[in-house]
Structures are given as C-alpha cells and as structure tokens.
C-alpha cells in the first residue's frame, strides 16, 4: 500500500513589506477600503494605524482628499445638516443638544487644516466653535466684538506641520471686521491668543481677554463696504477675504499678513459692477492668489503673480466655456462659484437646477458632488483619515449619501 501523500504546506503569507506597498496604493478618497482591511486581522490593524504607515501613506498620495463639505445657504432656505459626507466617512461629535445648543444655529465660516469654524450670529456677542470632525473635539469662544461686518478664519500653528492630517493641536483664529468710524469704514484684526489646542468646556467660554488687543487697520474704505460670507483663502503667510461694495456690486480683496500683522487692500483684476455674487477667491496649485468669475456659462480665472518689475500683477490664466464642458441643455442656465480647494485648481460651482459640480480647471475633469441646493458657500473638508490614537474603523458609517 503506497504511503499517504504528505500534508499540504500552508499557503505562503504575503511579506509584510509587500502588504504595506499594496495598502499604500488604496485611494485616500475611498477611506472605507482601509477600514475593511484593518478589520481583517490584528496585524493589519496595527499596521494601518501605526505612525510609520500613516506618514508613508500621506507622502505617497500628496494632497489630502476631500472627505466631505460644509455649506451655508441662501437666506430663507432651510438647512437640514451642516456636514455632508462625500465618502463613507462619518464625523465625530458630541451631542450639542446636551449643552442646550442647536447645531443648525451655527453657520460654517471657515474650514482649514482639519478644523471647522462655526459661528452663531444670533448670540451677543457672536459665539464661535472650532470643531475637529475627525476626533470630535470642540473649542468654544466668543467673537472679539459685534461688528456689522466680521469674518473669522482658523488655521494650524503646529511648527513643521504639513497640514495634511492636522488634528488635536494648537490652532489660531484671525478676526477681520469692518466698522463705521468718522463716517468711513475701518478694518480691524484680532488674533486669538488660544494656541493650546485644549478642549474648552461650554460653561467656560473664552472671552474677549483671550484675543490680542485690537490693532488699527485700513482707513478710507467706501462706507458701504462689507466682507462677503465666502471662504477666506490662505496664500503662504497671508489670509485673503473678498470685499464687496453695496452701491454697485463691485469687489476688492482684503489681505491680512500673518507675519507683519498688517492689513492691505488689493484691487480686483476687473473693474465691473454687479459681480459680487459671481466671483470667488482661490489658492491655485502654483501657490498664487486666484480670482474666478463666472459670467453665465463662461468661467474666467486670473492669478496674481510677481511681474518682471517686481510688482504683483493679475494675469488671465483660463477661459472655459462651461456649456461645452458640463451637461447643460438650457443656454440660459447660470452657475455661481461657491468654493474652492486651497492649493489646487479645483473650484465648486452651483446651479439651482443642476446641482453642485467640482471642476479641476487644469485637467477639465469634473464630477457632480451633490444635488441641486440653494448653497451660498461651500467649505471642503480636506484630510487623510486615520488620525493618531484612533482606531481606524470607529469614525465611519457605511452608507451612501449621494
């Protein structure tokens, strides 16, 4: 009788380095793939949540993906949610109702470096909330003063941070406001002195004393100037806000230099009236300030770069016929710019009939990211998932919001 065949050898396991190389190539805008992989074994969970893999993953893919967005609506329209997920990413948050607060009372004012800035203008003084959707932390503050026109921006202040996965660290707030003084408008700035990144208790609001002292800014602005409720743009070491004039609808740009703590005014690349609702500021992929205007179905993009004489100047970069690019049947259809991704050529356009579109102005690739809504401004939430110290599977909901 022949001897029994030898037992089959166990299937060879993939080498750890090869497994890591495969995981590195999973797309960051589909973070649920990493979640499912992490659930397969404790070894993979440890690998995917370890600092070495997180660092390599971010370096391999470069710019962080958009995991969702926040928005503000046209006055008079209803708001049913503040954060819209464009992937299978679920935000972390405490229940604000436990603190006697309705989150729908808070408008999105800014979103940058993994943090969201919300403001309740119905409270006096205005209440500010800095929220980290990835880990769920909240910081509560009050605005410096109740100015008629005021905007606040949020940014990371961690030294050496590449801002691709900012979480749970020091942050900085910059408040720029306009107020009447001696018959004209004046711009002010205040920088929050809160740079601890520690979570605050709702019963212990950070007050006016937690802001730097007021500094004088710009005189002799037209007395009907106001700061548009649109996303501010960070270019290198300066924040830029869109300034509009009520008497004719023309626009200008208010610049705040974080280094010198000085405010200055930049002329728009075109001098036209009634364009405030059709223009937006951008941070282009070459690091320059961009200015986009949509005239019905034509998109124009200018960028501000240093000229040969050493003086910054506007240059028209792109002219796009949106009727030829998007599935638009009605030639009378109009689109309005509502947001952009800093450090890229990506812009968001809204049509009350067609929906919200994301367009890469360089490659001309586009996709529809949301249904038709009365959006006024869109704030993209850009971040890699898998923050340090958090199990990768705990921040997700497996559902389709499209």
User: How do the pLDDT tens digits run along the chain, 402 residues long?
Assistant: 677 776 655 544 556 678 888 889 988 888 888 888 888 888 888 888 888 888 888 889 888 889 899 988 876 565 556 788 888 766 665 545 544 455 567 788 999 998 899 888 777 677 888 888 887 777 788 777 766 678 899 988 877 777 777 776 778 888 888 876 655 566 777 776 555 444 445 444 556 666 776 666 677 777 788 899 999 999 988 999 999 988 888 999 999 988 888 888 999 998 888 888 899 999 999 999 999 999 989 999 999 988 888 888 999 999 999 999 998 888 788 899 999 999 999 999 998 888 899 999 999 999 999 887 888 899 999 988 764 444 443 333 333 333
pLDDT of residue 104: 61
pLDDT at 280: 95
Q: Are 191 and 172 in contact (CB under 8 A)?
A: yes
**Given this model, what pLDDT does residue 392 score?**
40
- Cα–Cα dist 382/68, whole Å: 8
| pLDDT recorded at residue 368 | 93
For the sheet containing 355-360, what is the strand order?
336-340, 346-351, 355-360, 366-370
Going by the DSSP 8-state scheme, the letter that residue 5 receives in this structure is: P
Question: In the Cβ-directed half-sphere of 92, how many Cα atoms lie within 13 Å?
Answer: 20
Structure tokens at 304: 């501000």
CA distance 122 to 102: 12
**Separation between Cα atoms, residue 233 and residue 124, nearest integer Å:** 27
H or E, element range at 309: none
Tell which residue, 301, 257, 306, has the closest CA to residue 281: 301
Structure tokens at 67: 């995991």
For the chain, the residue count is: 402
pLDDT at residue number 391 = 43
Residue carrying structure tokens 């606040």: 152
> What is d(CA 37, CA 318) in angstroms, rounded to the nearest whole number?
42
Judged by DSSP in three states, 3 sits in coil
Res 210: pLDDT: 67
Strand-pairing partners, residue 351, are 355
In 28-164, the DSSP E strands lie at: 66-73, 83-85, 107-112, 115-120, 127-131, 138-142, 149-156
CA dist 179 and 235 (Å) reads 25
| 176 close to 189: Cβ distance less than 8 angstroms | yes
Contacts of 262 (CB under 8 A, 6+ apart): 256
Residue 166: per-residue pLDDT: 77
Closest CA to 161 of 3, 384, 381, 9: 384
Please state the pTM of the whole predicted model.
0.84
| Cα–Cα distances in angstroms (integers) from residue 76 to residues 73, 110, 375, in the given order | 8, 21, 11
The SS3 call for residue 210 is: helix
């Amino acid at each position: 009788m022949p001897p029994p065949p030898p037992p089959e050898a166990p299937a060879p396991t993939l080498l750890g380095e090869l497994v890591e190389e495969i995981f590195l190539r999973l797309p960051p805008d589909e973070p649920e793939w990493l979640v499912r992989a992490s659930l397969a074994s404790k070894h993979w969970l440890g690998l995917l949540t370890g600092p070495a893999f997180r660092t390599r993953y971010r370096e391999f893919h470069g710019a962080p993906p958009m995991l969702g967005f926040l928005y503000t609506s046209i006055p008079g329209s209803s708001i049913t949610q503040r954060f819209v997920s464009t992937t299978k990413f679920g935000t972390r948050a405490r229940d604000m109702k436990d603190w006697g607060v309705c989150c729908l009372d808070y408008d999105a004012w800014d979103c940058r470096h993994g943090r969201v800035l919300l403001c309740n203008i119905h409270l006096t003084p205005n209440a500010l909330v800095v929220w980290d959707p990835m880990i769920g932390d909240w910081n509560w503050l009050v605005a410096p003063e109740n100015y008629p026109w005021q905007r606040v921006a949020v940014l990371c202040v961690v030294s050496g941070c590449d801002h691709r996965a900012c979480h749970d660290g020091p942050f900085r707030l910059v408040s720029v406001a306009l107020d009447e003084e001696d018959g004209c408008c004046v711009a002010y700035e205040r920088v929050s002195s809160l740079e601890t990144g520690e979570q605050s208790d709702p019963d212990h609001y950070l007050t006016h004393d937690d802001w730097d002292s007021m500094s004088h800014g710009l005189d002799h602005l037209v007395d009907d100037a106001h700061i548009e409720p649109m996303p501010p743009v960070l270019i290198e070491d300066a924040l830029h806000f869109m300034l509009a004039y009520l008497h004719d609808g023309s626009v200008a740009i208010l610049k705040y230099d974080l280094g010198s703590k000085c405010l200055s005014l930049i002329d728009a690349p075109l001098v036209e009236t009634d364009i405030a609702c059709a223009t937006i500021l951008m941070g282009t992929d070459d690091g320059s300030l961009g200015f986009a205007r949509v005239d019905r179905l034509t998109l124009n993009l200018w960028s501000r770069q240093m000229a040969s004489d050493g003086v910054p100047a506007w240059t028209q970069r792109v002219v796009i016929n949106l009727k030829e690019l998007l599935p638009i049947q009605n030639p009378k259809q109009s689109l309005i710019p509502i947001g952009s991704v800093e450090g890229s050529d990506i812009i968001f356009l809204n049509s009350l009939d067609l929906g919200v579109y994301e367009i890469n102005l360089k490659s001309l690739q586009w996709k529809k990211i949301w249904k038709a809504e009365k959006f006024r401004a869109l704030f993209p939430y850009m971040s890699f998932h898998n923050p340090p110290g958090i199990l990768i599977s705990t921040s997700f909901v497996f559902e389709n919001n499209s």
